[in-house]
Amino acid sequence: MITFDIDTLAAFLCEQKNFFLGARINKIQQPTRREFVFTLRNNGETRQLYVNINPQFYHVCFMSKDNSSKRVIEIPQKPPMFCMLLRKYLENSRIAKVNQPDGERILEFYIETYNEVGEQIYLCLAFEFMGKHSNVILYNYDTNLIIGCAHNVGAEKSREREIFGGLPYIYPPKQLKFEKKWNSLVESKPEGISVNDFIDDYYSTHIANDKFRVLKSNYRSIISQKLKKVSKSLKQMEYKLQSDSDSDKYRLWGDLIMANLYQLKDFTSIVSVYDYENEKQIELKLDETKSLKDNATQFYKLYNKAKTARNKLTELIDESKVKKEYLEQVLYSIDSAKVIDDLFEISAEVIENSEKKESKNKVSEIMMIETEDGSRIYIGKNNKQNDYIISKLATEDDFWFHVHNCAGSHILLKSQNITDELILKCARLAKEYSSVKDSSKIGVIYTKRKYLRKPPASALGYVTYKNEKEIVLD
């Protein structure tokens, strides 16, 4: 990234100085630990000053409405302590003077306000744009004592300059002068665009890209961990089911005892019987304190218990398979997301117990392809869109396409003229918008909407189907 340097700050201040002088601070907000939004009003105009002290994106500018949404600013319900401090001292006060100290990446607002007893005092709000040392500091200009700052700097962090409430405010140590070797942001500004708009456009784009990258990585990590846990549990249950597959032996042993009830003696520890299913003589260990009939009853109880456990285990395996398939679908949606709004749309699926209620979240625009003959093909990007396509857009005779046993988009075909070419086109789209788009010999199933069913309480986008046909694509 190009550096937000002294020259860029100077050009910004020169361009916006007339608006700053006499501007009233109407509102102060702190979306994150390193972002601030000051609503300023002057000469009948209200503007939002955005200050970022992130070491990667430190800068200041007035935000446009479009770039405000790109920065994904969400105001917390409970403001941070420093934000409350700024509101206490600065809201409804006026900026009397703005300044950039010589040779410093510092923007200073000198503010006229009044203390608790009604006396006029002067405060200074200093925005320091210095990489990892960036900060926002409020201090009393008359006493030069710091009132508060965005983050404190103790002796363990800096031996040259400590920053926290009660200490005198001093400028950073002067750096040795050296020949400029960096590219200035303002030097790359094209003709015909203001310094502020260029700063706003440049950083909002980089911030949006970074937030998208970080959120996508976080979401992928969350779902991957859940998927790993489900896969491990499924593997263990399948192994247990396989290892317990000989539970039928208890039923057989009970049958063999009952078949030989009058040929064997009660209250014995071992009996020898002929296994008619496997055609061999076997010995059975019994409880010698019980009769033959009681031992047979005990074997039947063990068989019924094992059968119940097996049925329950089979049910859990089926549920885990559905959950695994669902998580794979969510992971596909994350990987295929192109913009941050795609991730916001599936946030409730990624983060359990999300405060956002699924039913109230609006479905974003669904991709639609219209063919020359007027047919329409809809492609879902995520489970929410997939569910909307099936539940709201589809009619009984529309065709539904999906890759077989893999994560992918639901493809819906609406057409009055179904042809083999159109079906093949939809099958190829189903493969293209799936987790196996680069694989060969992939099966794509399709059927009419009326043969789809959404089980009660099933996961978002999950359906069962029948009367399907399959196309194998290379």
- Collapsed DSSP state (helix, strand, coil) of residue 305: helix
Q: Is the dihedral of CA 254, 260, 261, 264 positive or negative?
A: negative
Query: Using the 8-state DSSP alphabet, how is residue 393 labeled?
Result: I
Choose among 73, 61, 68: nearest CA to 197.
61
CA distance 230 to 322: 10
Rg (CA), the chain: 35
Average pLDDT, the chain: 90
Query: 6-188 in CATH: which number?
Result: 2.30.310.10
User: How confident is residue 74, by pLDDT bands cut at 50, 70 and 90?
Assistant: confident
Mean local confidence (pLDDT), 302-317: 87
Global pTM reads 0.74
pLDDT of 358: 45
Residue 194 pLDDT exceeds 90 = yes
Q: Which residues have CB under 8 Å from 95's CB, separation 6+?
A: 20, 21, 22, 23, 24, 25, 40, 109, 110, 111
Mean local confidence (pLDDT), 449-457: 91
pLDDT of 182: 58
Residue 249 pLDDT exceeds 90 = no
pLDDT of 164: 92
User: How confident is residue 245, by pLDDT bands cut at 50, 70 and 90?
Assistant: low
Whether the Cβ atoms of residue 411 and residue 402 lie closer than 8 Å to each other: yes
Residue 168 pLDDT exceeds 60 = yes
User: How confident is residue 157, by pLDDT bands cut at 50, 70 and 90?
Assistant: confident
SS (H, E, C) 162-200: CECCCCECCCCCCCCCCCCCCCECHHHCCCCCCHHHHHH
Q: Which residues have CB under 8 Å from 214's CB, separation 6+?
A: none
Residue 178 pLDDT exceeds 60 = no
Residue 41 pLDDT exceeds 90 = yes
The 10s digit of each residue's pLDDT in 315-357 is: 899 989 999 999 999 999 999 999 888 998 898 889 864 444 4
Q: 195-243 and 6-20 are packed helices; what angle lies between their axes, rounded to 10 degrees?
A: 110
Residue 140 pLDDT exceeds 60 = yes
Residue 300 pLDDT exceeds 70 = yes
- Collapsed DSSP state (helix, strand, coil) of residue 25: strand
- Collapsed DSSP state (helix, strand, coil) of residue 82: helix
- Tell me the domain boundaries of the chain: 6-188, 213-355, 362-473
Q: What pairing do the DSSP bridges indicate for beta strands 59-62 and 442-448?
A: unpaired
Whether the Cβ atoms of residue 371 and residue 377 lie closer than 8 Å to each other: yes
Q: Residue 135 phi/psi, 5° resolution?
A: -160, 165
Start-to-end Cα distance in the chain: 43
Mean local confidence (pLDDT), 18-46: 96
Secondary element (H or E) of residue 95 = strand 94-99
Type of residue found at 462: Y
Q: Largest Cα–Cα distance in the chain? A: 112
User: How confident is residue 179, by pLDDT bands cut at 50, 70 and 90?
Assistant: low
Q: Hey, what are 256's tokens?
A: 């063999």
- Collapsed DSSP state (helix, strand, coil) of residue 248: helix
Beta strands (DSSP E) in 134-276 are 135-140, 146-149, 270-275
CA distance 364 to 387: 13
Lowest mean pLDDT among 150-164, 237-251, 453-467: 237-251
Length of the chain: 474
Q: Hey, what are 127's tokens?
A: 């925005």
